[in-house]
Amino acid sequence: MKNVISLTFFLLIFINLHSQSASGNTSNAEMSNFKTANIAYNIDPFGAYDVDGLTKGMRYSDISGTPFLLGDWRKAILYDIGLHPIATIMVKYNSYSDQIHFLDEKETELVANKEVLKRVTLLLDSVEGLKEVNLEKGFTDSKNILRPHQFVQVLNEGKVQLLKQNVNTVIRKDSLFGTIKINAFSENTFYYLKYTPTSIEKLRKLDQLELYALLPNKLIIEEFKKKKNKLKNIKDYIEFLNFYNQQISL
């Protein structure tokens, strides 16, 4: 994915329907606090590149699909570098540019300065099965694939954490009937295991054998396997890591 992700472009098209549904949730006081925290704004309407770096200057309207995690505006709590809450406002996470989009009090779509942010907690509806999605930056793995400025999902709390990185690229693919080539967003998912305060490893895939091999306390692993021998989905992995963290803290 060389030269794929441009971190300097942002959304041009403002979707009135979404902004109208979001506008009532941002107080002037919260937005004032957010701006006081030295948040910068920037809009670059021609910043998209395709996966080969050949097609440049595309608008989002030129590209099929969406670069936004969860696809829509979400109420979120934004935290500064010291993990102090700045504001609760409507945001979208752009997994192509790795940026946080938000609406100001005038319903203008802007992009936050990542340098002052540490964590963004997206608050979800109960019908989605999760209460929140935590995006956080400041991590780097042993091979420097994951960089400290990049946001990742923190899937569980505790000393041992599973991190999920969503990376969108723009690819060229056949249209529905194969008559023309179109540009489309394509999302890739990568997982990392933080197993000591300074040790983070990229997983080849979400695989329990690889995960177990990285963890030092094999007795806890064997104890958990008596309850559940196979980890089948993300929920199972989170359940295991919560159990592991609980046991190592005893």
Residue 179 and residue 224 in one domain: no
Q: What confidence score (pLDDT) does residue 114 get?
A: 87
Region 197-214: what's the mean pLDDT? 94
Q: Is position 20 within any domain?
A: yes
Q: Is position 5 within any domain?
A: no
pTM, two decimal places: 0.79
- Tell whether the model's pLDDT for residue 238 goes beyond 90: yes
pLDDT in tens, 116-165: 899 999 998 765 567 899 999 999 999 989 999 999 999 999 999 999 99
Residue 40 and residue 158 in one domain: yes
Domain boundaries, position 173: 16-202
Q: What confidence score (pLDDT) does residue 46 get?
A: 46
Residue 242 and residue 122 in one domain: no
Distance CA 125, CA 144 (A): 35
Distance CA 182, CA 62 (A): 9
Query: Cα dist. 180→52, 54, 154 in Å?
Result: 18, 17, 39
Residue 242 and residue 146 in one domain: no
Q: Is position 209 within any domain?
A: yes
Q: Is position 7 within any domain?
A: no
Domain count, the chain: 2
Distance CA 214, CA 202 (A): 11
Q: What confidence score (pLDDT) does residue 51 get?
A: 45
- Contact (Cβ atoms closer than 8 angstroms) between residue 91 and residue 25: no
pLDDT in tens, 154-178: 999 999 999 999 999 888 887 777 6
Residue 166 and residue 222 in one domain: no
Place 32 in a pLDDT band, splitting at 50, 70 and 90: low
Residue 134 and residue 51 in one domain: yes
